[in-house]
Each structure stands twice: as structure tokens, then as C-alpha cells.
């Protein structure tokens, strides 16, 4: 994979000024004590090293999870994660944004566990107004269990970009002009979890969780939230750090970025809803007929 690693350089995106955000709140590098809270799993979730690190664990009784204290409306969220090592079949580690309610919006990274020696599956999805069904899945060009890697969600009013180690792997554009719902009105929290889904997670549920390997552990660190913070009950945002980089506000992919997306999708994509004609016998969703990299 040496040639692949050489190819994977930093995404260079062009940016322009925007008026659509109004007052921004830019949150700097996060501290798990200050900015997040454990939501379930009791002692299976642990904040360590003064809030710089967090671990989630899963055993036969329960998994665990955490969420951000703040809600965000647009931004870039980076999370460094080291996934469950060894035989992780049946386990799912997640990092995602979500609003609340039946018509919720959601932007997903889900890491589906594997049998030892097989690759993890990186599952991505976008929900708008309660509707998802926009799955794309990938294998990674590295072992995500040996070291930490950075997974990023960049979300603004024009597009969503999924990045791995700053390499764009997927773009979901705002195509409301042709009737495609886009998540832009509901503030979302950051969530992560580790849980058992052996009814579907590995080889369609054919491979079950081996509980003799429990507890399973995933590690998180260096969370960075650079976003518009929506205060509870407020319709506006408050700027907290005017010096924070706001490039995400209108991030686009230049030619180099588009080439990187194509490289990842050609080499490592294993499922794309936009090519699944059996799933959509009445015709593919309208966004599938347009360029993915506008």
C-alpha cells in the first residue's frame, strides 16, 4: 500500500466568504469532560487523561456511548478513533451527527466489525427529514485498529463531505433544487457508541459476536469541533472564538480533491446505493443522476 499512502495527501479546498451563517460560534479543540457526556453503558465508558481521551467498551450485558453537550448547525467535526482489534465481528463503532425526533437529520460513520484478518467495513449514510437509504460502504487502505486515524464530517448549507485522514471519500451535495431533502435546518449533536449488532453487522449477520473476546474496546481522542453552536431555545449562534479557522463554511473540492474521491471510490468502495438498481426498481434517486463532486 506504499503507493496508496503516498497518494493520500492533504485535501486542498478553495473557500469563499459566506453570508448565510450569520453569527457563528467556533468551538476549538474539545475536552471530553467539558464538551461531552457519557449517555449509557455505566462504567464501560471512561474519560481519561484529564479529558483528552475516552474509551468505550462492549460486553455481553451492554455497550456504551457518549454525546456532545452542545447542538451544532453546520461545522466540521474531527474525531481520532482506534477501532476494536482482533475478532470484532458483530460489533459496531459509530461516530455521527443527529438531531432528535421522528423527522430527524443524521450524518453517519459506522464501523462494522470483522473476523480477524478481514477488513473493517466503513458504512456511511445521510438522513434528511427522517429519510435515509443513502448508504455508501468502503474498505479502508490501512488497518484502523493499530493506530488512531482521523474521521471528519464537514457540513455546511451546500454540501456534506466525509473525510478519512483529511482525504475526502464521499460528497453529498445540497440538491433541494431538484427535490432532494438536505439537512440544513435542524441542529445536531455529536454522538459515538460501541454496541452489538451481530444480527446484521458482519457478513449480513452470518458471523456472530464471539463473546470470549469481550470486553471489546474502542478509543477516542483529539476531538475537534469547529462549528456553529446553537444555544438551547435560541434561533441564533454566538461567536465564541473569532480566530478559529472557518474554511468549512463554504468548503468545496478542487480538482485534486475530486481526484482523491474518485480514487477512494474506485479502489475501496464496496457498496453504493446509487448503483443498486435492484433496490430502486422504479428508478434511482434523483441525486444519483448528477455529478457527485459538484
Query: Residue 67: beta bridge partners?
Result: 37, 191
Which class for 168: exposed (0-12), middle (13-18), buried (19 or more C-beta within 10 A)?
Answer: buried
Asked whether 61 and 43 are in contact (CB, 8 A), the reply is: no
Active centre residues (catalytic): 106, 110
> Which residues have C-beta within 8 Å of that of residue 290, sequence separation ≥ 6?
173, 175, 178
Query: Residue 122: beta bridge partners?
Result: 111, 138
The three cell numbers of residue 143 are 488497518
- Strands of the sheet with 53-58, listed across from one edge: 45-48, 53-58, 216-230, 71-82, 149-155, 159-164, 167-173
**Dist CA 157 CA 218 (whole Å):** 32
**Dist CA 164 CA 153 (whole Å):** 9
DSSP codes, 175-187: -GGGT-----SS-
Asked whether 249 and 18 are in contact (CB, 8 A), the reply is: yes
Amino acid at each position: 500500500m506504499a503507493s496508496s499512502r503516498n497518494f493520500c495527501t492533504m485535501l486542498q479546498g478553495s473557500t469563499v466568504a459566506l453570508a448565510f451563517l450569520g453569527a457563528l460560534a467556533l468551538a476549538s479543540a474539545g475536552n471530553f469532560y467539558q464538551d461531552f457526556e457519557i449517555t449509557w453503558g455505566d462504567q464501560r465508558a471512561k474519560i481519561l487523561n484529564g479529558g483528552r481521551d475516552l474509551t468505550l467498551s462492549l460486553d455481553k450485558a451492554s455497550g456504551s456511548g457518549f454525546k456532545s453537550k452542545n447542538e451544532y448547525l453546520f461545522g466540521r467535526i474531527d474525531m481520532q478513533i482506534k477501532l476494536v482489534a482482533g475478532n470484532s465481528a458483530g460489533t459496531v463503532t459509530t461516530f455521527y451527527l443527529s438531531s432528535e425526533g421522528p423527522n430527524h437529520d443524521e450524518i453517519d460513520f459506522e464501523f462494522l466489525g470483522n473476523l480477524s484478518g478481514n477488513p473493517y467495513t466503513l458504512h456511511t449514510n445521510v438522513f434528511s427529514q427522517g429519510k435515509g437509504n443513502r448508504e455508501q460502504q468502503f474498505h479502508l487502505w490501512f488497518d484502523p485498529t493499530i493506530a488512531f486515524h482521523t474521521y471528519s464530517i464537514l457540513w455546511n448549507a451546500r454540501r456534506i463531505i466525509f473525510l478519512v485522514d483529511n482525504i475526502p471519500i464521499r460528497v453529498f451535495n445540497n440538491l433541494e433544487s431538484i427535490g432532494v431533502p438536505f439537512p440544513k435546518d435542524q441542529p445536531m449533536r455529536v454522538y459515538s457508541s460501541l454496541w452489538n449488532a451481530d444480527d446484521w453487522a458482519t457478513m449480513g449477520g452470518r458471523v456472530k459476536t464471539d463473546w470470549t473476546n469481550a470486553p471489546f474496546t474502542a478509543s477516542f481522542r483529539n476531538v475537534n469541533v469547529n462549528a456553529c453552536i446553537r444555544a438551547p431555545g435560541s434561533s441564533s449562534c454566538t461567536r465564541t472564538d473569532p480566530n478559529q479557522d472557518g474554511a468549512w463554511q463554504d468548503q468545496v473540492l478542487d480538482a485534486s480533491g475530486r481526484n482523491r474521491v474518485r480514487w477512494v471510490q474506485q479502489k475501496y468502495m464496496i457498496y453504493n446505493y446509487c448503483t443498486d438498481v435492484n433496490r430502486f426498481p422504479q428508478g434511482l434517486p434523483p441525486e444519483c443522476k448528477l455529478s457527485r463532486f459538484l
